[in-house]
Amino acid sequence: MSARKLCRLALTTSLVSTALALAACGGDDNNGLTVYSGRNEDLVGPLFERFEKESGVELNVRYADTAELASTLREEGEGSPADVFFGQDAGALGALEKEQLFAPLPPATLDGVPARYRSTGGTWVGTSARARVIGFDTRKVQEDAVPDSVFELVKPEYRGKVGWAPTNGSFQAFVTAMRKISGEDVAAKWLADMKANGAKAYDSNIVLRDAIAAGEVELGLLNHYYVLEAREADGADYPVGVHFVDGKDPGALVNVAGVGVLKSTDRSPDAQKLVDFLLAQESQQYFATETFEYPLAQGVPSPVGVPALDEIANPDVDLADLDDLAGTLALLEKAGVL
């Protein structure tokens, strides 16, 4: 093909595609309720679909990373097209509350959820919770032999037998909790001792869980639902169990995903409808049975195979205080864990 022909071809193609693209954009008017979702489509997409069907409110959902969406909302400010933010962790929700981007939620909505799982400022509310657990290889370890505190994992008997996922957000929130509860020095020492004891680092909770199932490590610091999920897929003889450590231990941290309504919304009735929908019995049931998280609305049973949320006493730490992730990352780096 001659250069000229190619040039002409390229030009035509780009003109045609520009025209097509602009035509495609033309149809994008902002009819529905806009949701910025830091929770993955696979997990919450079905819920949103049901909301559209039941309420008749059309949703435009933008899926991206929780922290990146929170940053986007801050850059957008007043003009944000978003009405509702659905975040993966309390840290991002707290940051947006601090920036005063959230509108207050009505007391009736807030009161549906225990006080520790919602914002003290009354602008966001937890929708589901996840607990930190020690996953264990049921073929090699009896549950009563699994330690009741993460601090025991530095003992010589666990040398090279424990896995963790230092890049994971929930792991880092747990370390932040340890710094708050037990102090900086204790946390730093624990990290160093764990490393010296041969803790194996994995890239994600999923890889870590699979490593326990494959017999690579006997114990692993996980979120509870990763195990429940695999047990559901693989059947009851799945070789990984979950052990809840003592309630006072930082290793018993329970973190939440939650939702808030943006101050800049011009559709607050619909936004409120969505928040209430997420806290309604049926949706809460969905979290328990489909994503294996703890429902937070009162009276909805926990997922099968784990103790109820109010039975696993929780270390005494305010979720909103877990926002010093930067300090935790610095600590992890210093310990040579990251």
Residue 25 in contact with other proteins, rule: CB under 8 A: yes
92 counts as binding other proteins under rule CB under 8 A: yes
If the CB atoms of residues 21 and 304 are measured against other proteins, the closer one turns out to be 21
- CA gap 63, 40 in Å, rounded: 7
Could you tell me the smallest distance in angstroms from the CB atom of residue 77 to other proteins? 8
How many angstroms separate the CA atoms of 312 and 295, rounded?
A: 14
- Provide the residue count of the chain: 338
**According to CB under 8 A, which one of 63, 116, 232, 247 is a site residue for other proteins?**
63
Closer of 7 and 145 to other proteins (Cβ) = 7
Token pair recorded at residue 114: 């225990």
- Selected binder of other proteins within 181, 192, 206, 309 (CB under 8 A): 206
Collapsed DSSP state (helix, strand, coil) of residue 203: coil
For residue 210, state whether it binds other proteins (rule: CB under 8 A): yes
Rounded to whole angstroms, the Cα distance separating 165 from 101 reads: 32
CA-CA distance, 332 to 95, in Å (whole number)?
Answer: 22
Cα–Cα distance for residue pair 144/151, rounded to 1 Å: 16
Residue 22 or residue 115: which is nearer to other proteins going by CB? 22
Tally the C-alpha atoms within 13 A of residue 27's C-alpha that lie toward its C-beta: 4
Q: Which of 167, 197, 268, 285: binder of other proteins (CB under 8 A)? A: 167
Alpha-carbon dihedral 274, 279, 282, 288, rounded to 10 degrees: 130
Binding test (CB under 8 A) with other proteins, winner from 33, 57, 61, 319: 61
Given candidates 34, 109, 119, 223, which one binds other proteins under the rule CB under 8 A? 34
Rounded-to-integer distance, Cα 327 and Cα 184, Å: 10
Contact characters 172-201, other proteins, x per CB under 8 A: ------------------------------
Strand partners, 201: 164
Binding residues vs other proteins (CB under 8 A): 1, 3-4, 6-7, 10, 13-14, 17-18, 20-22, 24-25, 28, 34, 40-43, 60-65, 67-72, 74-77, 79-81, 92, 95, 167, 203-204, 206-207, 210, 216, 323-326, 328-329, 333, 338
